[in-house]
Amino acid sequence: MRKNRIILFGFILVIVLVLGYLWMSGKSSEPEKSNVSSSQVIDEAYQLIKKEAVFSKNEKLLVEGAIRGMAEALEDPHSSYLTKEEAETQESSLAEERVGIGVEIMNSGGKFIVVAPIKDSPAYKAGLKPQDEIVRVNSERVDGKTMAELVRLLSGDKGSSLKMTIYRPSENRHVELHMKRETIALHTVSSEVLEVDGKSLGIVTISIFGEKTAEEWEKQTKALVERGINGLVVDVRGNPGGYLFSVSSIIGTLLQNGSTFAYMQDAKGVLETLNTVNKDNPYLNKLPVVLLQNGGSASASEVLAGALKDNNRAMIVGETSFGKGTVQETHPLSNGGKLKISTHKWLTPKQQWIHHKGIEADLKVEQDELFNTDIKYYHGEFHQGDYGDEIKYVQQILSGLGYNISRKDGYFDEATVEAIDKYREQNKLEINSKLDETFFQDLTNTINEYKARKENDQQLQMGVSYIIHSLNK
């Protein structure tokens, strides 16, 4: 395959931090110039619009509309036309850190669909999930808007609040989410050591596959090996993708030199084999490995999962991944814009195309209800006898925390009062039997603390148990 700009992503919005910029290996290719036999009809339509149309005849907008229409006619959510401004936004999104909410979004048939929130980002904490459709940002509907317009709606100062209305197909309902914009640093790899039953396990989390991810991975995993870890857990939950060279380098530390980790298939069906290339034997090759994934694990994360699964190198724990099996190339256009089109499929080592299917976990584990709770930033004051979504939310959380809640429909009854009073007493808050700003904030802190405790992460616990069992055989 020629060395040009090859990507797998929805749209990069680091300002909303998007980061699905999966696959790059060089510079963008220049489009080949050729005549299209039917181009005359385009010229005819253009001239008729310029001459006869009573509405706007802006030449730039007409041309961009034609290009965008051709991209949309492909019926591929990952193929698109980027205006000069959108292209510049994409390029600027690669900064070390940006203020935003942290989510990858794609435009599918005019709908803005969430690919994945970045782990621990504001969008992630608020409960935004893969496949959610963005309907409103604050009070403004997003249908009919361009990606650049959506970026502007999602942009804002650090600490500023954002309300988003989404449609969740899995639940067939609309959900209102509240989040605050934060600084999102692109440090893509973190690690720690977990001591369990006399064994040391390395836990490595990869948020995205960026330019320096492979370097970060090597540094941190070698440090873990030096500490004498007995097993490795790789966490790519909520990881929307990244660069091919990054994920291939990481795979190269886990598989033997020359191992097939994926295939590229062009439009003619021709397959190209992608193999690992290492100077030395993988330094992690003797460690048992578990990979954690969920529905937000996409693109490069799926390449990693597929490579490890098909080579029998790791146990995949969690949920079925997102299911993105196409490769895009970007081409600069003379107007400053870019055309991004899907040019290849990528296949697993067993030549499976996972598009719209995802990679199934070997051990399927769902998180408990409280761990999966969407954090909502509610305001206002509520008393016994009131009714509303804010009260329903509190009832659900308190029930998940073990408080005696008789109803969870949003009606502020006596049992809810008693639960609130008990919560206030246990958390050293003023006892006043009401919901207010102080209560909502403390409840948010409690949920975050609950999610931060590893014993509540059932997917991680299952992965750890599997490794311990393997070591004790």
Domain count, the chain: 2
Could you tell me the CATH number of the domain that includes residue 318?
3.90.226.10
For residue 37, the model assigns a pLDDT of: 43
Task: Read off the amino acid at residue 17.
Answer: L
pLDDT higher than threshold 70 for residue 195: yes
pLDDT higher than threshold 50 for residue 168: yes
Could you tell me the CATH number of the domain that includes residue 393?
1.10.101
- Flag whether 165 is in a domain: no
> Quick check: helix, strand or coil at residue 46?
helix
For residue 300, the model assigns a pLDDT of: 94
Task: Read off the amino acid at residue 302.
Answer: E
Q: Give the model's confidence band at 281: pLDDT under 50 very low, under 70 low, under 90 confident, else very high.
A: low
- Flag whether 234 is in a domain: yes
pLDDT higher than threshold 60 for residue 20: no
Distance CA 376, CA 366 (A): 21
Summarize the confidence of residues 449-466 as an average pLDDT.
95
Task: Find the distance separating the first CA and the last CA of the chain, reported in whole Å.
Answer: 44
pLDDT in tens, 436-457: 989 998 998 899 899 989 999 9
- Flag whether 443 is in a domain: yes
Summarize the confidence of residues 231-247 as an average pLDDT.
91
| Identified catalytic residue from 129, 145, 309, 324 | 324
Q: 199: which strand partners?
A: 196
pLDDT in tens, 79-131: 888 888 777 666 554 444 678 898 878 777 778 988 778 777 899 888 888 88
Specify whether 203 is located in the same domain as 250.
yes
Report the predicted TM-score, pTM, of the whole model to 2 decimal places: 0.77
Q: Tally the residues of the chain.
A: 473
Contacts of 118 (CB under 8 A, 6+ apart): 17, 19, 102, 103, 104, 124, 184, 207, 208, 238, 239, 240
In the predicted model, what is the mean pLDDT of the chain? 86
Summarize the confidence of residues 192-211 as an average pLDDT.
94
Specify whether 398 is located in the same domain as 313.
no
State percent of the chain over pLDDT 70: 89
For residue 92, the model assigns a pLDDT of: 52
299 is catalytic: yes
For residue 213, the model assigns a pLDDT of: 92
Specify whether 271 is located in the same domain as 393.
no
Residue 429 CB neighbours (<10 A)? 16
Specify whether 354 is located in the same domain as 284.
yes
For residue 279, the model assigns a pLDDT of: 61
- Flag whether 35 is in a domain: no
For residue 186, the model assigns a pLDDT of: 67
328 is catalytic: yes
| Identified catalytic residue from 121, 299, 301, 321 | 299
| Identified catalytic residue from 328, 342, 367, 395 | 328
User: Do residues 161 and 179 lie in contact, with contact meaning Cβ atoms separated by under 8 Å?
Assistant: yes
Specify whether 227 is located in the same domain as 289.
yes
Specify whether 347 is located in the same domain as 398.
no
Q: How far is CA 293 from CA 238, 368, 371, in A?
A: 8, 16, 15
- Flag whether 289 is in a domain: yes
Tell me the residue range of the domain where 443 lies. 389-452
Specify whether 303 is located in the same domain as 432.
no
- Flag whether 69 is in a domain: no
Summarize the confidence of residues 339-365 as an average pLDDT.
96
Task: Read off the amino acid at residue 42.
Answer: I
Specify whether 394 is located in the same domain as 361.
no
More reliable by pLDDT, 375 or 336: 336
Specify whether 218 is located in the same domain as 358.
yes
Q: Give the model's confidence band at 328: pLDDT under 50 very low, under 70 low, under 90 confident, else very high.
A: confident
Q: Give the model's confidence band at 38: pLDDT under 50 very low, under 70 low, under 90 confident, else very high.
A: low
Specify whether 398 is located in the same domain as 292.
no
Specify whether 351 is located in the same domain as 446.
no
- Flag whether 21 is in a domain: no
Summarize the confidence of residues 154-182 as an average pLDDT.
90
Specify whether 423 is located in the same domain as 311.
no
Summarize the confidence of residues 34-52 as an average pLDDT.
74
For residue 373, the model assigns a pLDDT of: 84
- Flag whether 411 is in a domain: yes
| Rg of the chain taking only CA atoms, in angstroms | 24
